[in-house]
Structure 1
């Protein structure tokens, strides 16, 4: 059974250690407001029942929390991220240098699932040790808040047909055949209970059935969806790093295998949530909310939103963000990573909006590295269409948000 490698008390003891260094302001601009859109941290995978449980002859790793819930190790990792960003925001003078934040300084809102609510609480424990800072929860625990629920909103047949065609085209262009073969070999799918009595039982491209129904998440069935579930479980096991040995029953031992698995995972997210029209529809509530936060003069200086990889992926696609890589990471939307929407104010008084991806590297996750000036998280500035190198003007930023909220 997987158990946390480091107790949570260790993380909490470290919140007062070395402060994180902040990047220098650009062209003398002053950081005025930040909205953080975060993916929850490390959770137990969903492999205990259903098709995934039967997809390998091996026993999936046992975890010490319920499937889908944040682990203690995930809490430790989130404390580290909260501590780092709390120090960064203080250096930028968005948060008080000492003491606890007021309502005008900071607000946290998380989806109403255990892993998202707990992630927000651990972030706060790292950022504001000893402070009583609440996390807003708008729905009963265990249910989806509509703000974070990545469902299709449009209910017209033309949109659904276009969405399905876009998903099918994206799957075809991904050319995942060799990568699916790697997944199949790692889990020994052909020898699994699911393949008993079946000839030519393989993971293959072209057998996916996609869904784009109003009120439901974009979905898929077939080899790609099954492989994505397997890869998710193997990635979580690798990040947990409980035994120090190779994940996947010792069968994942070289980088080429991991790169193949990551391509499956990234492509699955892009196919379902990354096609432009679907992304704009799915991400509309979040982009509208983020726009409203920046538009409201009563909004706090720092807002934390904790959701899911589907939220981050659809928001990036809806904004038309340029393709990117995250050095030190294989996933495009890694656990514990966040989009940092920044509003800067220049000496001329003009606002500029910038978008940055801040994320823990694979090594930082696997080794539970406390984040600091010496060991900062990854930070990648993302280019947005129609904006300059110094960011987006008010008008440009509004144009980016507008297609998502029609």
Structure 2
């Protein structure tokens, strides 16, 4: 029997956090115009979030208010959004409405603009990084020359061909294979160079596609003389289809995210407050929030609305990983990680891990989540913190949290 569901979701489609002028300065091309200021949720993004909420409402219908139920009934739903950005609060509001059949209008959060330790305990000042450990690890793991995986080298090569074929031969040209440079700014590592640029560009191309905008790459590259000499590995004498291009270039973004955001020395201090809250929801009757309030005991579904970085840090903390065949970004907009608390036939609790997503085409077309060959069903995940014995052995909440604490110490000790 399913007893409680905890969902952690990335906000909906947003515009790039950098201005068009900044992106043009970094890449040498004019980017497609967005309908909202940098970093804001779009109307198309709201529609996609509503699609996700509608699907989750049906998927977990036994947990959630239905249209026939009066809104005066104590809610089984609680939504908490990161207050730091408009895009997370607005995503939380959309999910509150769709998941509650209109009974809840807004998500709960700290005051607008305040840093929330649940989503980033570093930014809120509740935790600090070990500078030596982080820099030592990144110095060893950031790729040099041909050390990057083949799919990452293909990503940077493809971006180079489309944006600036001669960039690496020019003194101040755009070069996606330029060596990584590591520094320390505002208490955190700061990576620049070719891989960092490829990560930014590929993520923004994905957001652009999901929003349904014209392709910056094609619009800019068509005016350049080098277009006809595009690499045959991309397309035969023509620019590749945008979705196929994304499958080629997004691995650069994923790779850098795994090196930095999922680095235990960063992910653990950044995410331990949210991990503790999830553990409390799985094992304790009372779970406190950063403002001193508690999550209502009646809440059988609890939703945290954060960022792609939120999903990355939880992946590290709970020993999870996932990929999709129809979505190159494992933490794309609306991707939702779920912790399901079940009770077996003997009354003992166990945890099941799931992840919901929308394909590239679903995000771009705002089509229903269930319109896929898998009917929108989540991918079932296995945590490395859970027992590795019998295949059907259950992951018990108390054992999971004990393993989490033990694993935190071990992962941090492994850092130089």
Per the normalisation by structure 1, the TM-score is 0.80
User: What residue number does 1:124 align with?
Assistant: 96
- The offset of 1:271, in angstroms, is 1.2
User: What residue number does 1:291 align with?
Assistant: 279
Equivalent of 2:163 in 187, 199, 224: 187
2:364 paired with 1:366: yes
1:102-145, Cα deviation, whole Å (9 max, x unpaired): 555111110111100111111223223332343112032x3432
1:231-273, Cα deviation, whole Å (9 max, x unpaired): 1211111111245x68652745266632331111101211111
User: What residue number does 2:349 align with?
Assistant: 351
Distance in 1, Cα, partners of 2:217 & 2:100: 35
Matches within 5 A, 1:165-204: 165-172=136-143, 174-175=148-149, 176-188=152-164, 198=171, 201-204=174-177
User: What residue number does 2:412 align with?
Assistant: none
Cα distance change on mapping 1:371 and 1:325 into 2, 3 Å = closer
Distance in 2, Cα, partners of 1:96 & 1:265: 38
SS of corresponding position for 2:142: helix
For the 8 Å contact 1:274–1:317, the answer to whether it is kept is yes
Equivalent of 1:265 in 240, 243, 253: 253
- The offset of 1:181, in angstroms, is 2.1
Structure 1 unaligned blocks of 5 or more? 1-29
User: What residue number does 1:309 align with?
Assistant: 308
Equivalent of 1:83 in 43, 54, 65: 54
User: What residue number does 1:383 align with?
Assistant: 382
For the 8 Å contact 2:64–2:100, the answer to whether it is kept is no
- The offset of 1:201, in angstroms, is 4.9
Matches within 5 A, 1:3-402: 30-48=1-19, 51-90=22-61, 93-97=62-66, 98-99=68-69, 102-112=73-83, 113-140=85-112, 142-149=113-120, 151=122, 155=128, 159-172=130-143, 174-175=148-149, 176-188=152-164, 198=171, 201-204=174-177, 206-211=179-184, 214=187, 216=188, 218-243=189-214, 248-249=218-219, 251-253=239-241, 257-297=245-285, 298=297, 300-321=299-320, 323-372=321-370, 376-377=375-376, 379-388=378-387, 389-390=391-392, 391-402=394-405
SS of corresponding position for 1:357: strand
Which contiguous aligned blocks of 4+ residues in structure 1 show a shift greater than 3 angstroms?
A: 100-104, 152-156, 173-178, 210-214, 245-248, 254-257, 372-376, 388-391, 403-406
Structure 2 unaligned blocks of 5 or more? 223-238, 286-296, 410-416
1:168-224, Cα deviation, whole Å (9 max, x unpaired): 333326433442222222233756xxx99726652225323154864x4x4322222
Distance in 2, Cα, partners of 1:34 & 1:160: 36
For the 8 Å contact 1:219–1:272, the answer to whether it is kept is no
Per the normalisation by structure 2, the TM-score is 0.79
Distance in 2, Cα, partners of 1:378 & 1:211: 42
For the 8 Å contact 1:252–1:258, the answer to whether it is kept is no
For the 8 Å contact 1:150–1:311, the answer to whether it is kept is no
Distance in 2, Cα, partners of 1:398 & 1:324: 21
Cα distance change on mapping 1:187 and 1:368 into 2, 3 Å = same
SS of corresponding position for 1:109: strand
SS of corresponding position for 2:7: strand
Count of equivalent residues: 365
Distance in 2, Cα, partners of 1:149 & 1:252: 38
Cα distance change on mapping 1:200 and 1:106 into 2, 3 Å = closer
For the 8 Å contact 1:288–1:405, the answer to whether it is kept is no
Greater shift, 101-110 or 198-207, is seen at 198-207
For the 8 Å contact 2:283–2:397, the answer to whether it is kept is no
RMSD over aligned Cα atoms: 2.9
